[in-house]
Amino acid sequence: MVMEKLEVKKDIVEKIRDERLKRVLSGEEKPPYSVLKRKLYTIQPSKLKKGLPRDVESLCPECGRIIKAHLYEKDGKVMIRKECPEHGVFEDVYFSDVELFLKFEMFAIDGIGLENPQTKLRVGCPYDCGLCNLHFSHSSIVNIDLTNRCNLRCPICFANANAAGFVYEPSYDEVIAMLKLLKKMRPVEPPAIQFAGGEPTIYPWFFEVCKAAKEMGFPQVQVATNGLLMANDPTFAQSMWDSCIGRVYCHLDGSM
C-alpha cells in the first residue's frame, strides 16, 4: 500500500519536473540561478537501485574494509545488516522512517559528475575520495573547516574539536586557494559554501574569508557555529551580516 501510494506521487513529481524542464529549455520560465539551467540539462533519472529489501556495499566500522550489506524493513524502520569476515556481524537502524526513506528515493536523480575531478580513481570508493569521478553529482554545499579548535568542549563533539592533539588551521591564502579551486569545478560550480570547524568564528581571518567567498561570486555563504560569540557580543552578529554571511547554522545540542 505504501509503495502504491509512493508510485502515484512519483508519477506526479516526474510530470511536474518534465513540464518545468520544458518551460526552462524553451525560455518560457526563468530558472532561479543560471547554474540551475545548466544543471537541468545534465540530470537524468537515477540508475541507483531503489526499494527494499536490497543489497548495497558498506564499510566495516572496525577495519574500514568494503563489505556487502543488506537493507530491509523492520517495525517501520529501515535496518542495515552487514558482516565482516574478521569483525563479525553489525546490525543497526539505517533510517528511522521507512515511508520517508522510500519517498526521498523518488527524488533521486543522476547528474554527470565532475568533468575535472582533482582525484584519480585508483582503488575505488571511499579510498580515493576527493571528489573522484565515480560521483554522479557535483558539490552542492561545500564545507570548509577553518579550524579544529573550539571555544567549547562538548563531550559529544562530532568534529573531535580540541581532541586531535594538533591544530588544523589553513592559512588565509590556503582557504582562498580552496575557494578558487571550487570556482573551477565543471560543469557546475558549487552554489553554497559553508564554513565549519571546530568553531569557525574563532578563525583569525573569519570575516575576511567570508567576504572573499561572496566577492568571488558564490551565491550563498553559510557558517555552522555554536553561536557563542554572537550571544556574548551582538555587534559580532552585525559584523557577520556585513561580511555577507547569508545563513547561520547553530547547533544548540552541542552548546551547553
Query: CB under 6 A: which stretch of 31-39, 42-50, 85-93, 147-155 binds ligand SF4?
Result: 147-155
DSSP 243: T
Among 28, 153, 166, 252, contact with ligand SF4 (rule: CB under 6 A): 153
Contact between 226 and ligand SF4 by CB under 6 A: the answer reads yes
Using the minimum distance from each CB to ligand SF4, give the nearer residue, 145 or 189: 145
Q: Cell numbers for 122, please give them.
A: 585508483
Q: Which does 6 bind (CB under 5 to 8 A by kind): Zn ion, ligand SF4, none?
A: none
Q: Cell numbers for 70, please give them.
A: 543488506
Contact between 10 and Zn ion by CB under 5 A: the answer reads no
Residues 6+ apart with CB under 8 A from 67: 57, 58, 59, 60, 82, 83, 84, 85
- The count of chain residues that interact with ligand SF4, using the rule CB under 6 A, is 14
- Dist. CA 167–CA 76, nearest whole Å: 43
User: By the 8 A CB rule, do 159 and 198 touch?
Assistant: yes
- Dist. CA 85–CA 120, nearest whole Å: 29
State which of positions 22-61 bind Zn ion (CB under 5 A).
60
State which of positions 78-97 bind ligand SF4 (CB under 6 A).
none
The CB-of-185 to ligand SF4 minimum distance in angstroms stands at: 27
Q: Is 199 exposed, middle or buried (0-12, 13-18, 19+ CB in 10 A)?
A: buried
Annotate each residue in 37-76 with x if it binds ligand SF4 (CB under 6 A) or - if it does not, as one string.
----------------------------------------
Contact between 143 and ligand SF4 by CB under 6 A: the answer reads no
Closest to 115 measured CA to CA, from 85, 87, 138, 91? 138
Among 63, 100, 109, 164, contact with Zn ion (rule: CB under 5 A): 63
Q: Which does 226 bind (CB under 5 to 8 A by kind): ligand SF4, Zn ion, none?
A: ligand SF4
Q: Which does 62 bind (CB under 5 to 8 A by kind): ligand SF4, Zn ion, none?
A: Zn ion
Q: What is the CA radius of gyration of the chain?
A: 21
- Dist. CA 107–CA 16, nearest whole Å: 12
The CB-of-229 to ligand SF4 minimum distance in angstroms stands at: 11
> Between β-strands 66-74 and 54-59, what pairing exists: parallel, antiparallel or unpaired?
antiparallel
Contact between 246 and ligand SF4 by CB under 6 A: the answer reads no
User: By the 8 A CB rule, do 13 and 7 touch?
Assistant: no
Among 40, 80, 154, 237, contact with ligand SF4 (rule: CB under 6 A): 154
User: By the 8 A CB rule, do 3 and 16 touch?
Assistant: no
**Binding residues for ligand SF4 (CB under 6 A):** 150, 152-154, 157, 159, 161, 197-199, 226, 251, 254-255
The binding site for Zn ion (CB under 5 A) comprises: 60, 62-63, 84, 86-87
